[in-house]
Amino acid sequence: MKRYIAVLLVFLMGACSEVEQETSSEKANTDTSVFVAVTNYPLQYFVTRIAGDSVITYFPEIEGDPVFWKPSSKELQAFQQAGLIVLNGASYESWLPYVTLPEDKMVNTSYSFSNQLIREDQALVHKHGPEGEHEHGVTAFTTWLDLQQAIQQAAAVKDALIKVLPDKAGLFDKNFTTLQKELLSLDQRLRSIGDRLQHTPLLFSHPVYQYFQRRYGFSGHVLHWEPDIMPDEGQWQELTQLNGELKAQWMIWEDQPLTDITRRLETLNIHTVVFNPASNRNGNEKQDFIAVMNTNVANLSAIGRNNLEAGK
Ligand SMILES: [Zn+2]
């Protein structure tokens, strides 16, 4: 019965935005059955697409990449009160072993393909230097950039939501099927780009494209650069040296890099292509997950076109 009241509350909240925040935090304390906590933007998007207004999704305000986030005590409290805790898995939530969360509320969305996770090259995972210091862990975590894996994650989200709100099974199934079609279409377009570019060497700016490369057959070399930090001379030397062999003309970035970076890359005949993993919603206010992926696919397909124009 409680859950119906909560659903009703969500409905009423739409009509009166002033009480919205108060009501939702009150609700989090009194009825946890439809309060869904997530740890990255793709998961938030999947929950929203499948459950719509039937749940309240909690994705903390996170600066930068959510994979490097650790919950504050207040954020952890919200997770502990959730009726469903949706995790990426693949070591994404490195803070998980250090906190207490209700086991029966957690769902690891990459569990179904856990035997296909990629172990990382140790040399790549640690980034030195005061600006970009962070560690990637030994398991590659950007699971959803293989869109088949994204579909499996969305399916895990759907199954978990149906367990929490069985009465909504029909609606959630229907919404999932629509989402699945869109993800499948992205997957197919990426496969055809992958087929076309299988002999085109690429540079990847950051070690987040492992599953993407594996699924779509993109080959190339992975660096550990940030779009907003000018690489030092040592990094430029490293690039010049390795690209003497590789001869890549395209570098894949998570976001549009600084103009100084793109200019200097152009002097090395390396063009910039943005493929945004959409890990966070920051800067994605106007574009949802599917829209960001559509832009990514369009950006990537330009590689082939330009190659053709150049007669390659
Ligand atoms: Zn990194």
How far does residue 125's CA lie from ligand 1's centre (Å)?
7
How far does residue 303's CA lie from ligand 1's centre (Å)?
24
175, 53 Cβ separation under 8 angstroms: no
Q: Tell me phi and psi for residue 127, to 5 degrees.
A: -110, 125
For β-strands 220-222 and 35-38, DSSP reports them as unpaired
Can you tell me the distance from the alpha carbon of 260 to that of 11, in angstroms, rounded to the nearest whole number?
A: 49
Total structural domains in the chain?
2
How far does residue 127's CA lie from ligand 1's centre (Å)?
6
- Amino acid sitting at position 40: N
Residues 14 and 152 in one domain: yes
Residues 59 and 161 in one domain: yes
In a domain, 113, yes or no: no
How far does residue 297's CA lie from ligand 1's centre (Å)?
23
How far does residue 138's CA lie from ligand 1's centre (Å)?
12
DSSP state of 128: -
How far does residue 206's CA lie from ligand 1's centre (Å)?
6
How far does residue 205's CA lie from ligand 1's centre (Å)?
9
In a domain, 285, yes or no: yes
pLDDT score recorded for residue 46:
98
In a domain, 92, yes or no: yes
Residues 12 and 141 in one domain: yes
**Which of 157, 181, 205 is a domain's end point?**
181
100, 80 Cβ separation under 8 angstroms: yes
Can you tell me the distance from the alpha carbon of 297 to that of 275, in angstroms, rounded to the nearest whole number?
A: 8
In a domain, 186, yes or no: no
In a domain, 54, yes or no: yes
* Number of DSSP helices (H) and strands (E) in the chain, helices first: 11, 10
120, 136 Cβ separation under 8 angstroms: yes
Residue range(s) defining the domain that contains residue 276: 192-309
How far does residue 301's CA lie from ligand 1's centre (Å)?
25
Closest CA to 257 of 238, 242, 276, 233: 276
Residues 231 and 293 in one domain: yes
Residues 159 and 280 in one domain: no
Can you tell me the distance from the alpha carbon of 271 to that of 51, in angstroms, rounded to the nearest whole number?
A: 40
Can you tell me the distance from the alpha carbon of 300 to that of 298, in angstroms, rounded to the nearest whole number?
A: 5
How far does residue 227's CA lie from ligand 1's centre (Å)?
11
In a domain, 114, yes or no: no
Can you tell me the distance from the alpha carbon of 77 to that of 35, in angstroms, rounded to the nearest whole number?
A: 12
Q: Tell me phi and psi for residue 45, to 5 degrees.
A: -60, -45
How far does residue 91's CA lie from ligand 1's centre (Å)?
15
How far does residue 132's CA lie from ligand 1's centre (Å)?
7
Rg of the chain's alpha carbons, rounded to an integer?
Answer: 21
CA distances from 130 to 36, 234, 260 (A): 36, 15, 20
Q: What's 299's domain CATH number?
A: 3.40.50.1980
Can you tell me the distance from the alpha carbon of 49 to that of 64, in angstroms, rounded to the nearest whole number?
A: 23
Residues 238 and 104 in one domain: no
Tokens 């994650």 locate to: 153
How far does residue 225's CA lie from ligand 1's centre (Å)?
7
How far does residue 66's CA lie from ligand 1's centre (Å)?
12
**Which of 141, 162, 181 is a domain's end point?**
181
How far does residue 44's CA lie from ligand 1's centre (Å)?
22
pLDDT score recorded for residue 305:
73
146, 190 Cβ separation under 8 angstroms: no
Residues 19 and 168 in one domain: yes
DSSP letter for each residue of 94-125: TTGGGS---GGGEEETTGGGGGGPPBPPHHHH
DSSP state of 38: E
Can you tell me the distance from the alpha carbon of 157 to that of 178, in angstroms, rounded to the nearest whole number?
A: 14
How far does residue 161's CA lie from ligand 1's centre (Å)?
32
Can you tell me the distance from the alpha carbon of 93 to that of 279, in angstroms, rounded to the nearest whole number?
A: 13
CA 122 to chain centre: 22
In a domain, 95, yes or no: yes
Residues 40 and 104 in one domain: yes
Residues 28 and 63 in one domain: yes
Half-sphere exposure of 281 (CA within 13 A, CB side): 17
In a domain, 153, yes or no: yes
How far does residue 25's CA lie from ligand 1's centre (Å)?
34
How far does residue 53's CA lie from ligand 1's centre (Å)?
35
Q: Per residue of the chain (312 residues), what is the pLDDT tens digit?
A: 344 444 434 433 433 333 344 444 444 444 445 899 999 999 999 999 999 999 999 999 999 899 999 999 999 999 999 999 999 999 999 999 999 999 999 999 999 999 999 998 766 556 655 445 677 888 999 999 999 999 999 999 999 999 999 999 999 999 999 999 999 999 999 999 999 999 999 999 999 999 999 999 999 899 999 999 999 999 999 999 999 999 999 999 999 999 999 999 999 999 999 999 999 986 656 789 999 999 999 999 999 675 444 443
How far does residue 177's CA lie from ligand 1's centre (Å)?
34
For β-strands 56-58 and 35-38, DSSP reports them as parallel
How far does residue 237's CA lie from ligand 1's centre (Å)?
19
Residues 155 and 234 in one domain: no
β-bridge mates for residue 204, sequence order: 222, 252
Residues 164 and 233 in one domain: no
How far does residue 15's CA lie from ligand 1's centre (Å)?
43
199, 304 Cβ separation under 8 angstroms: no
Residues 62 and 104 in one domain: yes
How far does residue 207's CA lie from ligand 1's centre (Å)?
6
